Amino acid sequence: MSTAPKLTPNLTPEPQDRPRKSGPGPIPLIAIVGPTASGKSSLGASLARKFGGEVLACDSTQVYRGFDIGTAKPLPEERAGIPHHLLDLVDASFAFTAGEYRVRAIAVLEDLSRRSRLPILTVGTGLYLRALLEGLSDAPARSEQLRARLEAGADTHSLEYLHRVLRRLDPEAATRIGSRDRPKMIRAIEVCLLTGRPLSEVHQAGRTRLEGYAPIKIGLQPPRAALYARIERRVQTMLDRGWLEEVAGLSRSGISQDAKPFDFIGYSELRAHLEGTVTLAAATKAISQATRRYAKRQVTWFRKEPLVHWLPGFGDDPAITTYAEQLVTGHLHSSATI
C-alpha cells in the first residue's frame, strides 16, 4: 500500500499514513458528495491511497448483497487494495434504513479510529450522510405491523384518508407533508402513534450529532451535459459487464419478487425486459432517463449541504484529484496544528 508519488501539490503532506495526531482533537473525516457517475468512488480510492484511509460507502443501494453491477459498487481493481466498508451488509429482503446505516457507520468509524485510518465516505445518499453527521431524532424505528395497517387503510379509503389522520395527530406536519406523499405521511403517522406525540414535537427535541469528528466535505460538480453523457455511457458499460445476467440470476434466486432492491433504478427496467414487456433498447433508454433524474435530485440535495468544497469536474479527472488532495492536505495540517 505505497503512496503514489505523482501529482504532489505545493503543500507536501508529511506523515502520509497518519490522518490525525494522537490526542483529543477531532478526527478528520472526508465525505465526497456528488451525483451518481461523478467519480466519487475513484476519488475516494485515490484519496485513501494517498492519505492512509479506508472507504466507507454511503449509499442506500450498495448495502444490498448481490446487487452489484447496477448499484455501481466499485470493482476490485477500482478498490485498489483499499478496504471498503458498508457494502453488502444485508440481503434483499431486508428493509434497510437511514437509522440502521448510522449505527453501522459509527461502528466502522470507531474501528478506523482505533487503527488511525482516515475515514473517507463516498456519498450517494444524502439522507444517510445527514443521518450520520447530524443524527436522527429520537424517533422509533419503522413498525411493519403498523405500516401494514396504514397501507391497508390508504388502499381501502384513499390517500386523503391518510392526510386526515395526520392532520388530526399532527396538524403542523400535515401542512408540511403533501396529501399525496404516501411514504412521508405514513412515517409521520407511525411516529405519532408509536410515541404518542406529534412528529413535529419529536423533531423539535433535536438530533444527536456525531461528536468528535471534523468533516471535510468535497463535492463533485461536473457540468450537467457531461454528466448526462457519462451516465449514458455507464449504463452501457454496466450492461456489457453482465448486468442483465445479474438481474436474471437474482430473479430466479428465490428472492421475493417485491424485494426492495428490485425497484432500484435499472433493476426494475431490466426485469421488465426479461419478462418480455419491453425491448432491451427501450429498457436501456429508460434506465438512462431514470438515472439522470436521480442525479438531478442528488444535485438538489447536495447543494444545500453546508460547507462543501465544490470541485468543477469528475472525480477521476487528474486535475480534480490533485486539487482534492491539496484540499485535504491543507485541512489535515490546519487541524493538526490546532
Partner RNA sequence: GGACGGGUGGGUGAGUGGCUAAAACCAGCAGACUGUAAAUCUGCCGCUCCUUGCGGGCUACGGAGGUUCGAAUCCUCCCCCGUCCA
- Which residues bind to RNA, rule: CB under 7 A? 36, 59-62, 70-72, 95-100, 124-128, 130-131, 136-142, 147, 151, 176, 178, 180-184, 186-187, 191, 203, 206-207, 224, 228, 260, 263-266, 289-294, 296-301, 303-304
Query: 119 pairs with which residues across the strands?
Result: 54
Nearest to 218 by CA among 16, 60, 32, 39: 32
CB of 59 to RNA, least distance (A): 6
- Residue 316 CB, nearest approach to RNA (Å): 17
Return d(Cα 110, Cα 27) in angstroms, integer.
11
Q: Which grid coordinates are listed for 303?
A: 447543494
- CB closer to RNA, 100 vs 330: 100
CB atoms within 10 A of CB 267: 26
Instruction: Output the smallest distance, CB 44 to RNA, in A.
Output: 14
Taking the complex as a whole, how short is the minimal distance between the CB of residue 11 and RNA, in angstroms? 33
Task: Please report how close the Cβ of residue 238 comes to RNA at its closest, in angstroms.
Answer: 9
Among residues 7, 78, 3, the alpha carbon closest in space to that of 42 is found at 78
Cβ nearer to RNA, comparing 61 with 329? 61
Q: How far apart are CB 170 and RNA at their closest, in Å?
A: 12
Shortest distance (Å) from residue 168 CB to RNA: 19
Nearer to RNA, 14 or 211 (CB): 211
Task: Pick between residue 27 and residue 57 the one whose CB is nearest to RNA.
Answer: 57
Residue 11 vs 226, nearer CB to RNA: 226
Q: How far is CA 216 from CA 66, 184, 210, 324, 332, in A?
A: 31, 31, 14, 11, 9
Select 176 or 333, whichever has its Cβ closest to RNA: 176
Instruction: For the chain, give the longest Cα–Cα distance.
Output: 66
Q: Residue 91: which residues within 8 A CB-CB, separation 6 or more?
A: 64, 65, 66, 255
Contacts of residue 42, defined as CB under 8 A and 6 or more positions apart, other chains included, come to 78, 314, 315, 316
CB nearer to RNA: pick between 63 and 327: 63
Measured from the CB atom, is 218 or 227 closer to RNA?
227
| Shortest separation between residue 138's beta carbon and RNA, angstroms | 6
What span, in angstroms and rounded, lies between the C-alpha atoms of 122 and 119?
10
Alpha helices in the chain (DSSP H): 40-51, 76-79, 98-114, 126-133, 144-156, 159-169, 171-176, 182-195, 199-204, 224-240, 243-251, 267-274, 280-303, 318-337
Please say whether the beta carbons of 313 and 40 come within 8 A.
Answer: no
